[in-house]
Structure 1
């Protein structure tokens, strides 16, 4: 179900899913760069089957939300948008624990959320997150003219249907990176790197063959902020979107086992 949420820079489209039963926990999904929450329908369905009330929001400039396409100029403000959604979910389901699940750029947003508002969240999962450093930022911020190099759909998953659907999705942004977005991404990474260790139980999940967010750069960032109560899983041959990979059931099972133990 879609509903409108006022964001820091305009109106946002938010979502809620449930399976009709009384939920026992809340899952908040945080999507990645250039995409939207509609690509997480199957994940939301599985989480709802597992007893969750599931929420998410299309970020500023993404999906059905307002704003210049694929432009975010302050990620701490986006954290505030996600927090508004968390507060809505908690008001609708008082007393239930909240699990934050962030993918790629959304994993970066989720990590910053955990630094700024740890008391809101019972547990978190970061899948293919942008942490530590991101080589694409160094490459693109150092040139005068940013090349028109959209994300290669083949890097998303070994399942060719995932890449095909992504390429044909009109709500996905398929253009080049924009400089304000690159600068904001770097600022957010710097803030996270300087923000100290997380204090919320968190699991890091990453594909070993991730060409979009290379695992070694992220691993270094993760090790810098990983809380004492944390776990890590890496998946051989898996590409960037591990929740859309051929072994996605394994990944989701690992995610749920961790969050079940900590929420």
Structure 2
């Protein structure tokens, strides 16, 4: 463990081990001489890392009163693994879930975790019940959405900066090319043959900041590997069919002149999401790197919007909403179907005559002053075990799941592929073993 203290922020670096024995880098920024308002968990973009590239994000949010935690994905930044080789996108998501739960004191059964991942015991009483938020940039936006999908009810919101959540129609590759890439990835998965433009040159507007990013030895600047390209393609195709399932509060930010991820997709996420608490802001003239590649005045504007959004959901002395038990999901869905636009966290405090006041609190971002009834959560691994025990075992196919799903998408091209593909994915997900309980 290593750490240092700045004027108002304490920065600490640690290493943990995932379930596959890979050493992963983690870090945290903790505010000094002020109460912690909430916890923010970082999900960085493809080829990026937390300690240097997201240093500004960690420091700014920490100075605003938030404890910020970051993890470098396997093969990224200072973590071990083949450089930017994503063997399975699920691995990235599950590693984040394990680390985030561990930070919050919710260790998982069957996972190898170094004792150094635990925070000092003196910190736990202060942090355990604080509001928790996901923060994802670019590909990290997809990671954040999938983390939330696998751990519903555990998050008070998400901040999505230029998220990768769908492939725009004019950039979607031809089905024949996808089929070729999928088959090649089975034979030479680590081969760096995928053509790509200079992403750093197109993502970061300020020339000085752009060169600083190029000089960062932890940032990957090579060509994507075949398996990585297939995994990212499948993830995008899968997410675009599930945008309507996004129910948590979120703020999505995008630069109008972004050519790396399409701002129209962020607008589609906002329009399609089922969340009752959502906001979007498109910044005129800004590029992809809103928080690290723009002139200082633009970056200040972006973080002012982020901190304002967080502060509205973390009034002084606030505690996190009680986590949703899996047995409560059907009840909560019924509540969402009612005419009054209640948030999930309002369900515990709804009383006769409170509909109007709850609606006002939702629109203004205020939280209920009534005390919530604690709900004992079922651990994720218990839910997965129950799921597997009640499902018939199916022999594993020699073809990877991501390949099958890409091929399904191509087979259904021309029809309502999202609806049929999502239905097949939901059926298949109940018989695939979870990485976290292997």
Please, what TM-score do these two structures have when normalized by structure 1? Answer: 0.91
Partner of 1:98: 132
Q: Please say which of residues 140-149 and 170-179 is displaced more in the overlay.
A: 140-149
Query: Aligned partners of 2:207 and 2:180: how far apart in 1?
Result: 32
The equivalent position to 1:138 in structure 2, one of 164, 173, 188, is: 173
Partner of 1:149: 196
Report the Cα offset of residue 168 of structure 1.
1.3
1:251 aligns to 2:298 (yes or no)? no
Runs of at least 4 residues off by over 4 Å: 134-137, 139-145
Report the Cα offset of residue 138 of structure 1.
2.3
The equivalent position to 2:258 in structure 1, one of 199, 210, 214, is: 210
Report the Cα offset of residue 42 of structure 1.
1.3
Partner of 2:342: none
Q: Please say which of residues 68-77 and 202-211 is displaced more in the overlay.
A: 68-77
Query: Aligned partners of 1:129 and 1:165: how far apart in 2?
Result: 23
Partner of 1:178: 225
The equivalent position to 1:166 in structure 2, one of 213, 219, 236, is: 213
Query: Aligned partners of 2:134 and 2:179: how far apart in 1?
Result: 33
Query: Aligned partners of 2:209 and 2:134: how far apart in 1?
Result: 24
Report the Cα offset of residue 105 of structure 1.
0.2
Report the Cα offset of residue 248 of structure 1.
0.9
1:49 aligns to 2:54 (yes or no)? no
Partner of 2:161: 127
Query: Aligned partners of 1:189 and 1:262: how far apart in 2?
Result: 29
Report the Cα offset of residue 160 of structure 1.
1.0
Distance 1:73 1:225, change over 3 A: farther
Partner of 1:59: 73
Q: Deviation per CA, 1:3-33: give whole Å up to 9, x if none.
A: 1122244111001111323422111111000
Q: Deviation per CA, 1:160-219: give whole Å up to 9, x if none.
A: 112101111111111101111111112222332334421210011000111111222443
Report the Cα offset of residue 74 of structure 1.
2.1
Check the 8 A contact 1:210/1:238 in 2, yes or no.
Answer: yes
Query: Aligned partners of 1:116 and 1:12: how far apart in 2?
Result: 21
Report the Cα offset of residue 150 of structure 1.
5.3
Distance 1:223 1:126, change over 3 A: same
Distance 1:220 1:65, change over 3 A: same
Q: What SS does structure 2 have at the residue aligned with 1:64? A: coil
Partner of 1:239: 287
Check the 8 A contact 1:193/1:225 in 2, yes or no.
Answer: no
Q: Please say which of residues 63-72 and 221-230 is displaced more in the overlay.
A: 221-230
Structure 2 stretches lacking a partner, 5+ long: 1-11, 106-123, 182-191, 315-438
Q: Alignment length, in residue pairs?
A: 263
1:109 aligns to 2:122 (yes or no)? no
Distance 1:116 1:19, change over 3 A: same
Q: What SS does structure 1 have at the residue aligned with 2:236? A: helix
Check the 8 A contact 1:150/1:175 in 2, yes or no.
Answer: no
Query: Greater share of strand residues, 1 or 2?
Result: 1
Query: Aligned partners of 2:273 and 2:79: how far apart in 1?
Result: 31
Query: Aligned partners of 1:132 and 1:148: how far apart in 2?
Result: 20
Query: Aligned partners of 1:55 and 1:226: how far apart in 2?
Result: 28
Q: What SS does structure 1 have at the residue aligned with 2:55? A: helix
What's the Cα RMSD here? 2.2
1:7 aligns to 2:31 (yes or no)? no
Query: Aligned partners of 1:201 and 1:95: how far apart in 2?
Result: 18
Report the Cα offset of residue 226 of structure 1.
5.3
Query: Aligned partners of 2:155 and 2:83: how far apart in 1?
Result: 29
Please, what TM-score do these two structures have when normalized by structure 2? Answer: 0.56
Q: Which has the larger radius of gyration?
A: 2
Report the Cα offset of residue 147 of structure 1.
4.6
Partner of 2:312: 261
Q: Please say which of residues 85-94 and 179-188 is displaced more in the overlay.
A: 85-94
Report the Cα offset of residue 123 of structure 1.
1.1
